[in-house]
Amino acid sequence: MLSKSQARWFFVGGTVFFFAIFLFLTFDTLREIPARQNSEAMTESVVRGKHLWDAKNCMGCHTILGEGAYYAPELTRVVERRGKEWIAIFLRDPEAMFPGQRRMTQYDFSEGEIQDVVAFLDWIGGIDTNGFPATPDLGRALVVAIEAPTTAPEYFGTVCVACHTVAGSGGTVGPALDGVGNRMTRAELDRWLSDPQAVKPGTAMPNLSLPDTTRGELVDWLVSLR
């Protein structure tokens, strides 16, 4: 049992020791912040996107950098998972991308506002968070959303593969596309990509309003999948 004098010195010594640790950690944090905060990539578009994020109370459903709600997906690395083009399409019409599933509000963003939100999310993803958030054990479906066979058009690798699989990689919302060239003709594929609802009313496939060049590249590639 400590004497009164020993207890006093134990308290004083412990206080000094842990206060020194606190000062060291504070100094280390301040030293690390400039290299981690990605401030050099902050543009006016990023700032506008942050204002939109706050104005629409996105943190009421989403989480970024550990702050926010858990009703909707965590978005710190969403650009890395999904890609800018997919996010832009989703923001134009959230319901069209996941009919009957997503409950995100349709904000009717202008194209400029969509690009600002995407810029903000891209900037967030560039912050060095020392590995946060960790890749979830069941996160493969998200991780492969930006993977595709090397011969695939870029659009497939950034958008389509979030729902469709080829050679075992991709999402599971839509059917696998292996062998689709044996099941559909070039004309059928072109018509389907032009307006899926006109071919099959009620289908979960959204009308992506693809430019002729992009649609042509996809049709050429899909026809080759035999």
Residue pLDDT tens, the chain, 226 long: 778 888 888 888 899 999 999 999 999 888 887 878 888 889 999 999 999 999 999 999 999 998 999 888 899 999 988 888 889 989 998 877 776 666 788 899 999 999 999 999 999 999 988 888 876 554 444 444 444 455 888 888 888 888 888 888 887 778 899 999 999 999 999 999 999 889 988 887 888 888 999 999 999 999 999 8
- Each residue's pLDDT tens digit, 134-186: 765 544 444 444 444 558 888 888 888 888 888 888 877 788 999 999 999 99
Cis peptide before 175 (omega within 30 of 0): no
Q: What beta strand segments (E) does the chain contain? A: 63-64, 67-68, 165-166, 169-170
pTM score, whole prediction: 0.69
Four-residue CA torsion sign, 104, 110, 115, 120: negative
* pLDDT (0 to 100) of residue 45: 96
* pLDDT (0 to 100) of residue 150: 53
Q: What is the dihedral of CA 166, 169, 170, 176, to 10 degrees?
A: 30
Q: CA triplet 120, 83, 56: central angle to 5 degrees?
A: 35
Report the DSSP beta bridge partners of residue 13: none
Exposure string over 8-18, b if 16+ CB within 10 A, otherwise e: eeeeeeeeeee
* pLDDT (0 to 100) of residue 136: 58
| DSSP state letters, 41-71 | G--HHHHHHHHHHHHTTGGGT-EETTEE-SS
* pLDDT (0 to 100) of residue 94: 86
* pLDDT (0 to 100) of residue 99: 66
**Can you say how many angstroms the Cα of residue 221 is from the centroid of all Cα atoms in its chain?**
26
